[in-house]
Amino acid sequence: MAIFYSSIYGLTIQLNQQVPGIFIERSSDTLPDIQITFGSMPSWLEEEGGSKEILSVTPPEGQTGLPRLIRLNYPSRESFEVRYADGTRFLLNKDASEIWATWPSDTLTVEDTATYLLGPIMGFALLLRGCISLHASALAINGNAVAIVGPAGSGKSTTAAALAELGYSILAEDVVTLQDLGDQFLVQPAYPCIRLWPESVRALYGENVELPKLTPTWEKCYLDLTQEQYQFQKRPLPLAAIYLLGERSDDQFAPSIRELEPNDALLKLIANTYASRFMDRTMRGRAFEVLARLLKSVAVRRVEPHSDPKRIHSLCHAITSDFDKHTTFQPNPELRDQALHV
CA dihedral 117, 191, 272, 287 (to 10 degrees): 80
Quick one: pLDDT band at residue 74, thresholds 50, 70, 90?
confident
pLDDT, tens digit, 9 for 90 and up, residues 5-58: 999 999 999 999 988 778 877 777 788 999 999 999 998 887 765 578 888 787
What single DSSP character describes residue 321? Answer: H
In the sheet with 69-74, reading across from the earlier edge strand, the strands are: 4-8, 11-15, 34-38, 98-102, 89-93, 79-84, 69-74, 53-57
Residues 169-186 have a mean pLDDT of 92
Mean pLDDT computed over every residue of the chain: 87
Give percent of the chain above pLDDT 70.
92
The domains found in the chain, sorted by start residue, are 4-128 (no CATH), 132-339 (3.90.228)
CB 1 within 8 A of CB 14: no
> At residue 65, does pLDDT exceed 90?
no
Q: Under the phi-then-psi rule, with left for phi > 0, alpha for psi from -120 to 50, and beta for the rest, what region is 307?
A: alpha
Answer left, alpha or beta for residue 175, where phi above 0 means left and psi between -120 and 50 means alpha. Answer: beta
CA-to-CA distance for 157 and 177, rounded, in angstroms? 16
Question: Among 175-189, 230-244, 246-260, whose mean pLDDT is lowest?
Answer: 246-260
DSSP element (H, E) containing 93 = strand 89-93
- Residue 77 scores a pLDDT above 70: yes
Give the model's pLDDT for residue 64. 57
- C-alpha distances in Å from residue 23, one per residue of 7, 27, 54, 187, 233: 7, 12, 35, 18, 12
Q: What is the pLDDT of residue 95?
A: 93
291-337: per-residue pLDDT in tens? 999 998 898 999 998 888 888 889 999 999 999 887 665 444 444 44
Beta bridge mates, 135: 175
Instruction: Tell me which residue of 189, 228, 169, 191 sits closest to 22, measured CA to CA.
Output: 191
114 burial (CB, 10 Å; 0-12 / 13-18 / 19+) is buried
pLDDT at 341: 39
